[in-house]
A and B are shown apart, each in its own frame.
Chain A
Amino acid sequence: MTWSLRRRGRIIKREEENRTIMERRLLVKQYELLLDRDICIGCGICADNCPKEAIIYSPAEFRGIRAVTRPSIDFDPERCVLCGECVSLCPMHALQMRIEREERVPVIEMNVFPLATRKRW
């Protein structure tokens, strides 16, 4: 792990088996955003709707007409603000958010649904 990533309050991204974990540890509060890569089908709904454009979508790679890799998503820890928008939208329930180890989604709790795509329309 590089030194700069360990500064206070930064989101740290790590891979664990088939999961990608985005974690922010504050002294008094801990946040996690988890992606289960086994479940994710790479539909890209989260990437289209992320209000901070923090989800990077990689389309499937083709060799001829055969897909050799599945489409997938990845996070940009510098942009993500852990709002939980992606979690609330995921049709496969591949994303999960935990605050203090408890499953919580801030945007649902606050009853909001920001539209990032509004900018593109």
Chain B
Amino acid sequence: MGEEEPRIGVYVCHCGLNIAGVVDVEKVAREAAKLPNVVVSKDYRYMCADPGQEMIKEDIKKYNLTRVVVASCSPRMHEPTFRRCVESAGLNPFLFEMANIREHCSWCHPHYPEDATEKAIDLVKMAVAKARYLSPLEVIKVPVTRAALVIGGGVAGIHAALDLADMGFKVYLVERSPSIGGRMAQLDKTFPTLDCSICILGPKMVDVANHPNIELITYAEVKRVEGYIGNFRVTVVKKPRYVLESECNGCGECVKVCPVEVPNEFDENLGPRKAIYVPFPQAIPMVYTIDMDACIECYNCVEACKEQGREAIDFDMKEEEIHLEVGTIIVATGYDLYDPSRVRAYGYGLYDNVFTAIELERMINAAGPTQGHVIRFSDRRTPRSLAFITCVGSRDVKTNIYCSGFCCMYTLKNAILLKEHYPEMQIYVLFMDLRAPFKGYEEFYRRAREEGIIFLRGRPTELYEDPKTKNLIISMENLSTGEPMDLEVEMVVLSNAAVPAAGTEELSRILTVSRDASGFFMEAHPKLRPIDSPTDGVFFCGAAQGPKDIPYSVAQGSAAASRAARIMARGEWEIEPIVAYVDPERCRNTKTKCGICATKCPYGAITVEEGKAAVVNTAKCHGCGTCAADCPANAITQMHFTDAQIIAQIHAALEEKPEEKIIGFLCNWCSYGAADLAGTSRMEYPPNIRIIRVMCSGRLDRDFILEAFRKGAGMVLASGCRFGDCHYISGNYNAERRLKPLFKMLPRFGISPERFRLEWFSAAEAGFFTNLVKEMVETLKRLGPERIREENEKARPFLDRMLKHIGG
């Protein structure tokens, strides 16, 4: 704390009726005014609106405020807004603190207005307590490398890469398969205009290949990403294709002499390809690849290549590591299709004539394995009747709950295409609901109906094969008539859902970004930051973030490019100064060999030399606070989340009726996010919990939990991201290692171990969080305040001795 007493202004937001409808905001403001150091306390309809911000700015000057506390929504929402506001009034932006009385209070406790008001007062009290200990910080400026990495060369990645390259930035486009193009390259036509898919994508792919600013790295995967916004160091592993990209001119003579045929993945394994191949004729780069799993090393291709006067084939090629330095990363890894053989009732893989939609797509494509003929597996005859089954692997609690979005439309498209090719064919679409919400889509649906396609509402329960004719009999309840019915068709096509692409999980770990409950990448904010990842400088576009059709993916590709350019155009970027600082006076390493902090830092940001105090490299430090919690001498401080600030919050929260309260330490990225989501989703839980935000669970010192018990807390929750999802790589592992022993330690002091909970959940798991709080409150009630007080009394002498250094 500075020499002068802080002068705090408190502003309580009504947020229309979002807060004021439940919480008595005037009472909160009145109570806040009574707190020590609070000079002014007001409530207002919308603090974030211009007049609200003006009010703060005026007050800072009028009352000479040195701290500002706003009680409104989540800091994940408006902290930057208010920081800018106080900064423009001449106050350091880090002298601002926020109390989350909307997501964590009014939205979650609408039926307990009195309790909610009490909780809001506590939350304000905690924020004020922290505000007293805030110190001004200067933002850290880092240089930005003016190059971007785009992961995934589908239609979204291609557009992101082209836009950035046109703006003049260097772009590295990394694609896992031998060619760019992605899913769109596989499609025949696109809805609702029936444009030929590869005809509109092909030229874009050529643009990528020819663009001077784009470096295309195909048949390669991102293995490691280090660094931070503006300064990422990326390791890409390029698989050997055994053909020199510089030499191969794509003549295809090698293919003619290759003796090995294997199924072509690009054709969904319906037709063959050779062991040396390009996946499709328009592939970019137009370079052949040898599939070593299939190659028998006869060297016929080498001979054929020599006859053409070239030596493009190199069997000694090795895996190659490429190191890139980029400022931003765009993830456009797309989707995979749900494996329908998992829905056994539909018999995919068991019955010959059950196909998936993408298989039909390859069949109906003139460049596909059947040259555009739709034929049955059993007899290679064009079926006279065909049924589409929608929502396979989506909208079902047994598979995936989400709606895959584009399946209805591609089903309609395939139905219309089939009707064009085979006007005599009886086509049925068996659907639960048909969703056609965007421009031109409903018209397309109407067209399908007008063209004589039969729509039957109902979810097929079972499907079986006539062993003689290999026709399929579908049992379903026709929901329009309410009658059960059997439908015999010659072919069935399953419209299967989009699922996260293989490798999404691994990539999420490499980039330390989280995934939602369905496994797709999760955006920083569902409404206002749909393109940004929670990691600064990393963006998503296309189906990597959730199923999307082509125009949506293209729009997101361009959006991601502009988000990335926003950072790179400036040439430098400001990062939050919430870094760690080592007090050289207190660091033990000057006297004995310590270095614990350096071993715990997930980013290698701390250097320890013998006999000298440890030093934090601020540009490398991400501000998780793990080192601060692990330092045995308490010599490390995490700025803006100091021990003093957190302990002040604990004390403020437990001033009154502590035995009824739960102190919850939540990490900013996952568990705090889940608590926010619980609010946004209006999930209700008992108002006993008081949440303290830390950047990472790795920050959680054992002392914080013990201090909470010493001050009489009923229960304590420590939580963070699920293992493997930590935004600081290993913070939650460190937290677990440090906090797990408490379960053994607490009973020795006389505290029931069930009063401490250590839980890991993602930002999407709002339901988990609400259930957890409910469960904890049950425990609290079961134990009863008497017993809790008794236990706390018993433990106090031990705790007092252990926490002498904290005082109070």
Q: Is A112 an interface position by the 8 A CB rule?
A: yes
Q: Is the CB of A29 within 8 A of B349?
A: no
8 Å CB contact of B263 from A3, A6, A8, A112:
A8
Neighbouring B residues of A24 by C-beta, 8 Å: 263
Segment from B42-50, B52-60, B252-260, B579-587 that makes contact with A: B252-260
Consensus secondary structure, chain B interface: loop
Report the separation of the CA atoms of residues A13 and B341 in the bound assembly, to the nearest whole angstrom: 20
Q: Is A52 an interface position by the 8 A CB rule?
A: yes
Q: Is B703 an interface position by the 8 A CB rule?
A: no
Neighbouring A residues of B275 by C-beta, 8 Å: 81
Report the nearest A residue to B369, measured CB to CB.
A28
Q: Is A114 an interface position by the 8 A CB rule?
A: yes
Neighbouring A residues of B350 by C-beta, 8 Å: 3, 6
Taking each of A24, A27, A51, which has the highest tally of chain B beta carbons within 10 Å of its own beta carbon? A27
Taking each of A9, A24, A110, A113, which has the highest tally of chain B beta carbons within 10 Å of its own beta carbon? A9
Report the nearest B residue to A106, measured CB to CB.
B259
Neighbouring B residues of A29 by C-beta, 8 Å: 261, 271-272
Neighbouring B residues of A116 by C-beta, 8 Å: 296
- In the complex, which range does the number of interface residues on chain A fall in? 20 to 34
Report the separation of the CA atoms of residues A55 and B269 in the bound assembly, to the nearest whole angstrom: 24
Q: Is the CB of B296 within 8 A of A52?
A: yes
Residue-by-residue, is B320-360 near A (CB-CB < 8 Å gives 1, otherwise 0)?
00000000000000000000010010000110000000010
Neighbouring A residues of B294 by C-beta, 8 Å: 81
Report the nearest A residue to B270, measured CB to CB.
A27
8 Å CB contact of A28 from B271, B298, B341:
B271
Q: Is A83 an interface position by the 8 A CB rule?
A: yes
Consensus secondary structure, chain A interface: loop
Neighbouring A residues of B259 by C-beta, 8 Å: 83-84, 106-107, 109-110, 112
Neighbouring B residues of A81 by C-beta, 8 Å: 260, 262, 275, 293-294, 296
Q: Is the CB of A112 within 8 A of B270?
A: no
A79 to chain B, nearest CB (A): 9
8 Å CB contact of B300 from A6, A82, A110:
A110
Q: Is B402 an interface position by the 8 A CB rule?
A: no
Q: Is the CB of A83 within 8 A of B260?
A: yes
Neighbouring B residues of A112 by C-beta, 8 Å: 259, 296, 298-300
Residue-by-residue, is B362-392 near A (CB-CB < 8 Å gives 1, otherwise 0)?
0100000110000101001000000000000
**A-contacting residues, B273-326, CB 8 Å:** 275, 293-294, 296-300
**A-contacting residues, B174-189, CB 8 Å:** none
Q: Is B268 an interface position by the 8 A CB rule?
A: yes
Neighbouring B residues of A85 by C-beta, 8 Å: 296
B49 to chain A, nearest CB (A): 58
Residue-by-residue, is A3-25 near B (CB-CB < 8 Å gives 1, otherwise 0)?
11011110000000000000011
Given contact pairs A26-B272, A27-B271, A81-B275, A114 touches B263 in the complex (Cβ within 8 A): no
Report the separation of the CA atoms of residues A83 and B291 in the bound assembly, to the nearest whole angstrom: 14
Neighbouring B residues of A31 by C-beta, 8 Å: 261
**B-contacting residues, A95-118, CB 8 Å:** 106-107, 109-110, 112-114, 116
19 A–B contacts, CB within 8 A, in A order: A3-B350, A8-B349, A24-B263, A26-B270, A27-B271, A27-B363, A27-B380, A28-B270, A29-B272, A31-B261, A52-B296, A81-B296, A82-B261, A83-B260, A106-B259, A107-B296, A110-B298, A112-B259, A114-B297
- List 5 A-B pairs, minimum CB-CB distance, nearest first: A9-B263, A9-B269, A51-B296, A112-B298, A110-B259
**Interface residues in chain B, defined as those with a beta carbon under 8 Å from any beta carbon in chain A:** 257-263, 268-272, 275, 293-294, 296-300, 341, 344, 349-350, 359, 363, 369-370, 375, 377, 380
**Interface residues in chain A, defined as those with a beta carbon under 8 Å from any beta carbon in chain B:** 3-4, 6-9, 24-29, 31, 51-52, 81-85, 106-107, 109-110, 112-114, 116
